[in-house]
Amino acid sequence: MDIGAAVAILKGLAAVSLDARNARVVTTWAAGISTLTTLEGRARVWAEATMADSPALVSALQALNLRSPVAIAEEILLDR
């Protein structure tokens, strides 16, 4: 992985600290997530299972859903 390229892409999005260490991956099972019919419902269950901020995640997904893929890509590329 090119750490410098990753940091450049993520710059300004959040506090980012990357290093070359290997980290153990922890997986969390979100029981029942596959039975949900909406992305919002799945996001809420996943957020609960991973102790993430559910309202912020759902809000971000809703904002992305209102925009075209081209508009999202342009914003990402112009923010560099």
- How many other C-beta atoms can be found within 10 angstroms of the C-beta atom of residue 53? 10
The one-digit pLDDT tens for each residue of the chain (80 residues) are: 676 777 677 776 656 566 666 656 666 677 788 898 998 898 888 888 888 888 888 888 888 888 888 988 888 888 76
Residue 9 lies in a domain: no
Task: State the pLDDT at residue 22.
Answer: 65
Encoding tokens for residue 6? Answer: 């990753």
Residue 30 lies in a domain: yes
| Residue span of the structural domain in which 46 resides | 26-80
Task: State the pLDDT at residue 8.
Answer: 75
Residue 37 lies in a domain: yes
- Number of compact structural domains in the chain: 1
Strand, helix or coil for residue 41: helix
- How many other C-beta atoms can be found within 10 angstroms of the C-beta atom of residue 46? 16
* Number of residues written out for the chain: 80
Residue 18 lies in a domain: no
Dist. CA 61–CA 52, nearest whole Å: 14
Residue 8 lies in a domain: no
Place of tokens 């922890």: 26
